[in-house]
Chains A and B, each alone.
Chain A
Amino acid sequence: MRFTGLGYLIKEGFRNVWNNRIMSIASVCVLISCLVLTGSAVLISMNVTNLVDKISDSNETTVYLKEDVSKVEAVYIGRDIKNLKNVTEAKYFPKEEALEDFKSTLGEEVFDNMKNDNPLPDAYKVTMKDLSKYDKTVRQIKKIEGVEKITSQKELARKLSSINDLVRILSVAIVLALGVISLFIISNTIRATMHSRRFEISIMKSVGATDSFVRIPFIVEGMVIGFIASVFSTAALFFLYDIIMEIVVNLIHIATIPFSQVFWVVAGAFVLAGVLIGALSGFISIRKYLKKEGNEILGW
């Protein structure tokens, strides 16, 4: 009953966007850049997190053996490692296998001539029971004769995590800053519409339109701008992401999250954010006008 005129008001909102199209397009563009930047930051963070998780999950420490260690000696070393309390498994990883591994990740040709002169050392892949005792166990392994050095993915994971923290802080900052900018730009656009429609607003108020009735078209205007921007942002990020990830994968072979996997999350988040920012802008801009009465609205 109260909202019998709702259809009309929504139509008015769409009309606002159209009548004020230059400003609307400007707002949409600003919002697109904000959403794409924010989205990129989030996706980067997601990818790094994904990588860190994978590395941490593998929980493997590689123990490289000295080059002069024979295959027989290697078996003994392996037994010594396995005898340590904190070690659950020590898998032999000969240099031939290591070469194969490299070949599959980095491309073939380079490694073909290395077959006869393999520079890689033999190694053991060690899995530990309790990672909190990691340092102690590493010291114990180092004492074993014939062990060259120990590398752990944990170091890499730690470094990546700190990068990820930075990315996260940055993306929060970006989200906040760009959110405020978008809000400002869109509310300015809506204010321009409102200014051109102040006459109508004053008449609406004089015939007894409720605040929500006066407000709805402007909130709809903001939501429409937000929605249009979110659709374009999703499309833009879709293309950008594929291009960037292709470059990244070519540089360092890491597992990336395919866009199709996050498409709906991204699209949903964009639409939600865009529409919310738009509605909020409409709400903020009309507030000033609602408090005014009669000729004040017209600025007389």
Chain B
Amino acid sequence: MDNIIEFKNVSKRFGTETHALNDVSLAIEKGEFVFIVGASGAGKSTFLKLIMHEETPTQGTITVNGIEVSRLKRKKVPYLRRNMGIVFQDFRLIDKMTVYDNVAFAMRAIGASPSAVRKRVPYILELVGLSHKAQNRPSELSGGEQQRVSLARALVNNPAIIIADEPTGNIDPEMSYEIIELLSEINAQGTTILVVTHEHDLVRKFNKRVIEIEKGRVVSDTKEVDDILFEIPDESEEDTADTYPEEADSAEELSADEETAEDPQDETQEESAQPDESEDKEAE
């Protein structure tokens, strides 16, 4: 089981008319780092909600870490969610609690023992570089720091997948870069990362797989290439799933060899992709 997230012909309708998602099929492998981009209302949120079982699909099947989400019983949903750590745009930190307790809360909520909490939380805070702020309240921290606390909370239960919903939406660009950098480091340890964003600049800076959703459909799915340039190989969405099965690091090496050969083709692809993006921006 290499695919950690798999959508097969998934549609989600609200009411009879609106298609939030329309016949989406895609696969994300274990250890991948994926950006999900698209204008607001394109279906990104629905996509995430379906993964988290906050919504169930009208049609199709969804599998997450070997669990068939679409047919999951309500009682089993919590165990599905323990596979994923969620980072919210608005951080969702509890200001009554210290930074330490905010992170510990996620462990206590799933019944971790006090000794496990004492061991794990300081380690995670160290990882996100906030050990010195452990006893502060979230409101005393900067936006970037708050988001790192949120990330620490998402990480603390050691999930297989980190889902970040517009993690940089409420923080300044410099901090945004740092957060994505941090996510990349976590990704290097083998954790699958999903980042929903509409900041194309940020996406361009990092060389990762990008899935673009528009009007409920996947309109482009470009895998990771080794360059700061935004290069889009000619791949249809069905093919991407099995192109680079390796983890991030080895995938980069692999693509480095192919780069020269594919270059001309990529250039043209890039041009055709650009207008789409500017349209998106205007829409937002």
Contact = CB atoms under 8 A, between A and B. Distances in A.
Given A8-B114, A208-B82, A203 B109 contact: yes
A145 interface: no
A208 B105 contact: no
Interface string B107-118: 011111110000
B111 A205 contact: no
B14 interface: no
A5 B108 contact: yes
B52 interface: yes
B146 interface: no
B142 to A, nearest CB: 21
Contacts of A241: none
A202 B109 contact: no
Contacts of A4: 111-113
Given A200-B105, A294-B49, A294-B54, A207 B110 contact: yes
Contacts of B79: 208
Contacts of A2: 111
Contacts of A205: 78, 81
B108 A8 contact: yes
A209 B105 CA distance: 11
A208 B81 contact: yes
B195 interface: no
B112 A206 contact: no
Size bracket of the B interface? 20 to 34
B54 A293 contact: yes
Nearest to A9: B108
Given A3-B111, A5-B108, A213-B109, A199 B92 contact: yes
A206 B52 contact: yes
Interface in B78-92: 78-83, 85-86, 92
Given A203-B105, A206-B81, A209-B78, A5 B113 contact: yes
B191 interface: no
Contacts of A265: none
B256 interface: no
Contacts of B105: 200, 203-204
B113 A206 contact: no
A74 B85 CA distance: 100
B94 interface: yes
Nearest to B48: A294
Contacts of B85: 207
B49 A202 contact: no
B152 interface: no
A211 B110 CA distance: 10
A203 B94 contact: yes
Nearest to B88: A206
Contacts of B80: 208
Contact of A203 (B54, B77, B83, B92): B92
Interface in B53-93: 53-55, 75, 77-83, 85-86, 92
Nearest to A196: B96
B246 to A, nearest CB: 29
Nearest to A292: B54
A210 interface: yes
A207 B106 contact: yes
B46 to A, nearest CB: 12
B157 interface: yes
A261 B53 CA distance: 58
Interface string A189-206: 000000000011011111
Which are the 6 A-B pairs with shortest beta-carbon distances? A208-B81, A208-B82, A5-B111, A209-B109, A293-B54, A204-B109
Interface of B: 49, 52-55, 75, 77-83, 85-86, 92, 94, 105-106, 108-114, 153, 157
12 contacts: A4-B111, A5-B108, A203-B94, A203-B109, A204-B105, A204-B109, A207-B81, A207-B106, A207-B110, A208-B78, A208-B157, A293-B55
Given A5-B108, A7-B114, 10 more contacts: A4-B111, A5-B110, A8-B108, A207-B85, A207-B106, A207-B110, A208-B77, A211-B75, A213-B111, A293-B55
